[in-house]
Structure 1
């Protein structure tokens, strides 16, 4: 248990004991009756996420309707990205480009003109997302008992490293209307359309990312039975979980795919639209990946029991459920061009949390 986690648990207990305590028969049991106001236990804490992968929301710096220079573009790239739904409209230009291709594979920037780009400003990628793996860590539970029935509990685990799994593929729904010239003569519009590959989240080994999870929990609990009479005492609880993830690290192969996506957008912004259609084609930018996670709050409910060995020592077991969704943002930035590519992902965790420990009352 780190010092940070320890104080996250202890401070609420101290606050509760000094502010909620009242001079009344309800809160003021006679200590000579054997009632112990504080208890602490330790034991394994197992977290089992139940959430489903949710579609990420993706944005790029290329606005719908933005006009981008095509630059030098290979004719093979044009043919690979022709709109299959516009075969009739593209027929005459396709025949002309095949004639040009017999003399040169590259359509020079002086003739390739511009493209009006759409589709990649923002979109959601259905069928993809992230989920968290099960994890077991050392848990600690501290209780302050207002009376024999009601207590305030603070519970947390030593912040474990959690593996994040990926699901599905991410592509960019690119469409464009390209206008070019040949020997200074305007040519018919050619229509382009393709799902440009960004990354396959299931092809990066055991996990796409790791994070250290801080998940302190606080609950008000009601204990059935009576101290000194019932050794076995069930209890129920209701409270709040706070989740914070730091030390986030991306899988290197996923990070490379995201940097490539940054180069793709930078090429469109820098007048090299043809290069943007070639996966992995470098730009003059220097894309860097930034990964962040927001603080999240969730209601939590618990069923558990304690079993007294004697007046001081006891065993405890519980199972809890928290309705928890965390928000993670991935950005690809360049010092000059700003944010090139960003993805906002709701990480649905909804964990079932099992705990078993041995404790001491004082």
Structure 2
């Protein structure tokens, strides 16, 4: 009888542990710190047209750079099975500083832009559902677009290179996401985690400048291809419902 009682108790503890694990049907909401580190490079700025007439002339030794940025991230994770989960990721749009390269480097910060990149991931969790530490690998897709892009450096705007007030438009893109990390069960409901993602992102920035002439305003359009390829680090906490 005593052995039967001990065995029954052990089974109850095991079931309770399974009930509080990352198993099929588990839903976890999380938040944390997102750090974007672009591995950026840029083509030379090309003047596409001026006053409506095509030019297509590259300006030697010019380019743009993008700085690092931090923001708050939010995630919603659902376990389809004990090992397979889907996750949605969204952050407060971080603001990136745009700098100049080559002959534009002395101007320092040229402007800024905010990035939106909602992401959907399919993740595979290794080890058993009851394991406290679970590494994972994931793959997914992100829709990346930019808002509030602006050139704000007045010295740069006065340069004949652009010729006047300039607006910026950055092309939106669908990009793949490669993800890996681990999750650690702190209590029955609370989790902590770390993930690293890589987004192979290449986009085009279009600069539209307007300068005043004796016969009216003259519009110039310039473009630059920019590789961002950000590495995104996410340190988070989550609560299992």
TM, length-normalised to structure 1: 0.55
Partner deviation per Cα, 1:76-131 (whole Å, 9 max, x = no partner):
xxxxxxxxxxxxxxxxxxxxxxxxxxxxxxxxxxxxxxxxxxxx822223432112
The 5 A counterparts of 1:71-220 are: 121-169=55-103, 201-205=104-108, 207-220=109-122
Shift of 1:293: 1.6
Whether contact under 8 Å (1:145, 1:152) holds in the other structure is yes
2:239 aligned with 1:360, yes or no? yes
> Helix, strand or coil for the counterpart of 1:159?
coil
Q: Flag the 1:350–1:126 CA change in 2: closer, same or farther, 3 A.
A: farther
More strand as a share of residues: 2
> Helix, strand or coil for the counterpart of 1:208?
strand
Whether contact under 8 Å (2:32, 2:234) holds in the other structure is yes
How many angstroms apart in 2 are the aligned matches of 1:145 and 1:121? 55
- Structure 2 segments unaligned to the other structure (5+ residues): 1-16
How many angstroms apart in 1 are the aligned matches of 2:82 and 2:218? 57
2:50 aligned with 1:61, yes or no? yes
More helix as a share of residues: 1
> Helix, strand or coil for the counterpart of 2:106?
coil
Q: Of 129, 136, 142, which residue of structure 2 is paired with 1:241? A: 142
How many angstroms apart in 2 are the aligned matches of 1:122 and 1:321? 33
Whether contact under 8 Å (2:149, 2:167) holds in the other structure is no
* Larger-Rg structure: 1
Aligned residues: 219
- Structure 1 segments unaligned to the other structure (5+ residues): 1-31, 65-119, 170-200, 263-286
Whether contact under 8 Å (1:62, 1:121) holds in the other structure is no
Map of 1:256 onto structure 2: 158
CA RMSD of aligned residues (A): 2.6
Whether contact under 8 Å (1:38, 1:145) holds in the other structure is yes
Map of 2:4 onto structure 1: none
TM, length-normalised to structure 2: 0.81
Map of 1:320 onto structure 2: 197
